[in-house]
A and B are shown apart, each in its own frame.
Chain A
Amino acid sequence: MPLLKSPPHLSNAARTLTARHAISPAAARHRRCNSTVEPPPAGGHLPSIATSQILRTKRETALRTPGLSWADEDASAPSRTIVGGRETRKMNTYQAIRDAMGIALSKDENAVVFGEDVAFGGVFRCTMGLSEEFGRERVFNTPLTEQGIAGFGIGLAAMGHTAIAEIQFADYIFPAFDQIVNEAAKIRYRSGGSFNVGGLTIRTPTMSVGHGGLYHSQSPEGFFMAATGLKVVIPRSPIQAKGLLLSSIRDPNPVIFMEPKILYRSAVEQVPVDDFELPLGKAEVLVPGSDLTLLTWGTPVYHCETALHMLNSPPPSLEAVVPKSARSAKIELIDLRSILPWDVENIVDSVNRTGRLVIVHEAGLTAGVGAEIAAEIQKRCFLKLNAPVRRVAGWDIPVALHYEKFHIPDAVRILDGVMETLSY
Chain B
Amino acid sequence: MIRTELSRTLRRAFSQAVVRRRELLPTTSSPIVTTLDFFNSVAGKDKQIPTYRLLDGIGQPLEGAVLPEIDEPFARRLYEQMQLLPTLDNVLYNVQRQGKISFYMTAHGEEATIIGSAAALENDDEVLGQYREMGVLLWRGFSLDQVMAQCFGNQEDTSGKGRQMPVHFGSPEHHFHTISSPLATQIPQAAGVAYALKRTPSRKSRSIAACYFGEGAASEGDFHAGLMLASAIPSPTLFIARNNGFAISTPSTEQYNGDGIASRGPGYGIDTVRVDGNDILAVISAVREARRRCLEQGRAVLLEAMSYRVGHHSTSDDSFAYRARAEVEDRKRIDNPITRFRLFMESRGWWNADAETELKARLRDDVMKAFKRAEGLKRCELGELFTDVYGGPEPWNIREQREELTGLLKKYGSIWEPWRNELGKFKNKGQDLLGPK
Interface residues of A (CB under 8 A from B): 110, 112, 114, 137, 140, 142-143, 145, 147-148, 150-161, 163, 175, 178-179, 182-183, 186-196, 198, 228-229, 251-253, 281, 341, 344-345
Q: Which residue from chain B places its CB closest to the CB of A185 in the assembled complex?
A: B389
**Contact present for A195 and B178 (CB under 8 Å):** yes
Q: Which residue from chain A places its CB closest to the CB of B203 in the assembled complex?
A: A159
Q: Which residue from chain B places its CB closest to the CB of A192 in the assembled complex?
A: B161
**Contact present for B172 and A152 (CB under 8 Å):** no
List 5 tightest A-B contacts by C-beta distance, closest first: A155-B192, A151-B188, A148-B225, A252-B391, A159-B196
List of B residues within 8 angstroms of A253 by Cβ: 390-392
**Contact present for A154 and B182 (CB under 8 Å):** no
**Is B387 located at the chain interface by the 8 A CB criterion?**
yes
Q: Which residue from chain A places its CB closest to the CB of B172 in the assembled complex?
A: A194
Within the complex, which residue of A110, A187, A194, A252 is in contact with B392, where a contact is CB–CB below 8 Å? A252
A147–B226 Cα gap in the complex (Å)?
9
**Contact present for A161 and B199 (CB under 8 Å):** yes
**Contact present for B190 and A155 (CB under 8 Å):** yes
List of B residues within 8 angstroms of A193 by Cβ: 161, 387-388
**Is B295 located at the chain interface by the 8 A CB criterion?**
no
Within the complex, which residue of B194, B390, B392 is in contact with A155, where a contact is CB–CB below 8 Å? B194
**Contact present for B189 and A154 (CB under 8 Å):** yes
10 pairs of residues in contact across A and B, judged by CB atoms under 8 Å: A143-B229, A143-B232, A148-B224, A151-B185, A152-B188, A183-B180, A183-B182, A189-B389, A194-B170, A253-B390
Known A-B contacts A155-B194, A183-B180, A189-B163; the reply to A228 vs B398 at CB < 8 A is: yes
List of A residues within 8 angstroms of B395 by Cβ: 281, 341
List of B residues within 8 angstroms of A112 by Cβ: 195, 199
Residue of A140, A147, A187 with most partner-chain B CB within 10 A: A147
**Contact present for A182 and B177 (CB under 8 Å):** no
List of A residues within 8 angstroms of B161 by Cβ: 192-193
**Contact present for B391 and A163 (CB under 8 Å):** no
**Contact present for A140 and B192 (CB under 8 Å):** no
Known A-B contacts A159-B197, A183-B189; the reply to A151 vs B160 at CB < 8 A is: no
List of B residues within 8 angstroms of A137 by Cβ: 199
A294–B342 Cα gap in the complex (Å)?
75
Q: Which residue from chain B places its CB closest to the CB of A140 in the assembled complex?
A: B233
Q: Which residue from chain A places its CB closest to the CB of B230 in the assembled complex?
A: A152
List of B residues within 8 angstroms of A187 by Cβ: 178, 180
CB distance from B178 to the nearest CB of A (A): 4
**Contact present for B222 and A191 (CB under 8 Å):** no
List of A residues within 8 angstroms of B180 by Cβ: 182-183, 186-187, 190
Supply 13 further A-B pairs (C-beta < 8 A) apart from A155-B193, A341-B397: A110-B196, A112-B199, A147-B222, A150-B188, A151-B225, A153-B192, A154-B188, A158-B196, A159-B197, A190-B160, A193-B387, A341-B395, A345-B396
| Chain B stretch 145-195: residues in CB contact (< 8 A) with chain A | 157-161, 163-164, 168, 170-172, 177-178, 180, 182, 185, 187-195
**Contact present for B389 and A156 (CB under 8 Å):** no
**Contact present for B185 and A155 (CB under 8 Å):** no
A379–B433 Cα gap in the complex (Å)?
25
Known A-B contacts A159-B193, A179-B185, A194-B171; the reply to A188 vs B389 at CB < 8 A is: yes
List of B residues within 8 angstroms of A140 by Cβ: 233
List of A residues within 8 angstroms of B163 by Cβ: 189-190, 192
Within the complex, which residue of A160, A178, A192 is in contact with B158, where a contact is CB–CB below 8 Å? A192
List of A residues within 8 angstroms of B157 by Cβ: 192
**Contact present for A154 and B392 (CB under 8 Å):** no
| Chain B stretch 199-227: residues in CB contact (< 8 A) with chain A | 199-200, 209, 221-222, 224-226
**Is B126 located at the chain interface by the 8 A CB criterion?**
yes
**Contact present for A182 and B172 (CB under 8 Å):** no
Known A-B contacts A194-B172, A196-B391; the reply to A152 vs B195 at CB < 8 A is: yes
Within the complex, which residue of A148, A175, A189, A191 is in contact with B170, where a contact is CB–CB below 8 Å? A191
**For the side of the interface on B, what is the size category?**
35 or more
**Contact present for B392 and A251 (CB under 8 Å):** yes
**Is B240 located at the chain interface by the 8 A CB criterion?**
no
**Is B228 located at the chain interface by the 8 A CB criterion?**
yes
List of B residues within 8 angstroms of A159 by Cβ: 126, 192-193, 196-197, 200
List of A residues within 8 angstroms of B388 by Cβ: 188-189, 191-193
Within the complex, which residue of B160, B189, B194 is in contact with A192, where a contact is CB–CB below 8 Å? B160
A140–B178 Cα gap in the complex (Å)?
28
Known A-B contacts A155-B190, A182-B185, A188-B390; the reply to A195 vs B170 at CB < 8 A is: yes
Q: Which residue from chain A places its CB closest to the CB of B185 in the assembled complex?
A: A183
Q: Which residue from chain A places its CB closest to the CB of B189 in the assembled complex?
A: A155
Within the complex, which residue of A142, A179, A195, A228 is in contact with B229, where a contact is CB–CB below 8 Å? A142
**Contact present for A152 and B189 (CB under 8 Å):** yes
A344–B398 Cα gap in the complex (Å)?
13
**Contact present for A158 and B221 (CB under 8 Å):** no
List of A residues within 8 angstroms of B164 by Cβ: 190
Q: Which residue from chain B places its CB closest to the CB of A182 in the assembled complex?
A: B182
Q: Which residue from chain B places its CB closest to the CB of A188 in the assembled complex?
A: B388
**Contact present for B392 and A156 (CB under 8 Å):** no
**Contact present for A152 and B221 (CB under 8 Å):** no
List of A residues within 8 angstroms of B190 by Cβ: 155
A159–B228 Cα gap in the complex (Å)?
20
**Contact present for B396 and A152 (CB under 8 Å):** no
**Contact present for A156 and B192 (CB under 8 Å):** yes
Q: Which residue from chain A places its CB closest to the CB of B190 in the assembled complex?
A: A155
List of B residues within 8 angstroms of A345 by Cβ: 396
List of B residues within 8 angstroms of A195 by Cβ: 170, 172, 177-178
Q: Which residue from chain A places its CB closest to the CB of B181 in the assembled complex?
A: A182
CB distance from B408 to the nearest CB of A (A): 17
**Contact present for A145 and B197 (CB under 8 Å):** no
A345–B195 Cα gap in the complex (Å)?
41
A163–B28 Cα gap in the complex (Å)?
32
Interface string of B105-126 (1 = CB under 8 A from A): 0000000000000000000001
Known A-B contacts A186-B180, A190-B160, A191-B160; the reply to A341 vs B191 at CB < 8 A is: no
A383–B42 Cα gap in the complex (Å)?
73
**Contact present for A198 and B391 (CB under 8 Å):** yes
CB distance from A339 to the nearest CB of B (A): 12
**Contact present for B178 and A152 (CB under 8 Å):** no
**Contact present for B228 and A145 (CB under 8 Å):** yes
CB distance from B291 to the nearest CB of A (A): 18
A111–B193 Cα gap in the complex (Å)?
14
Q: Which residue from chain B places its CB closest to the CB of A151 in the assembled complex?
A: B188
Q: Which residue from chain A places its CB closest to the CB of B164 in the assembled complex?
A: A190
Residue of A114, A145, A188 with most partner-chain B CB within 10 A: A145
List of A residues within 8 angstroms of B397 by Cβ: 341, 344
A334–B222 Cα gap in the complex (Å)?
40
**Contact present for B193 and A158 (CB under 8 Å):** yes
**Contact present for A151 and B158 (CB under 8 Å):** no
Within the complex, which residue of B159, B182, B199, B391 is in contact with A178, where a contact is CB–CB below 8 Å? B182
A140–B235 Cα gap in the complex (Å)?
13
**Contact present for B391 and A155 (CB under 8 Å):** no
Residue of A112, A178, A251, A345 with most partner-chain B CB within 10 A: A178
| Chain B stretch 283-314: residues in CB contact (< 8 A) with chain A | none
Q: Which residue from chain A places its CB closest to the CB of B193 in the assembled complex?
A: A155
**Contact present for A110 and B199 (CB under 8 Å):** yes
Within the complex, which residue of A150, A158, A178, A198 is in contact with B177, where a contact is CB–CB below 8 Å? A158
| Chain B stretch 367-397: residues in CB contact (< 8 A) with chain A | 384, 387-392, 395-397
List of B residues within 8 angstroms of A114 by Cβ: 233
**Contact present for B389 and A148 (CB under 8 Å):** no
Within the complex, which residue of A150, A155, A194 is in contact with B195, where a contact is CB–CB below 8 Å? A155
**Contact present for B389 and A229 (CB under 8 Å):** yes
A195–B170 Cα gap in the complex (Å)?
9
A302–B292 Cα gap in the complex (Å)?
58
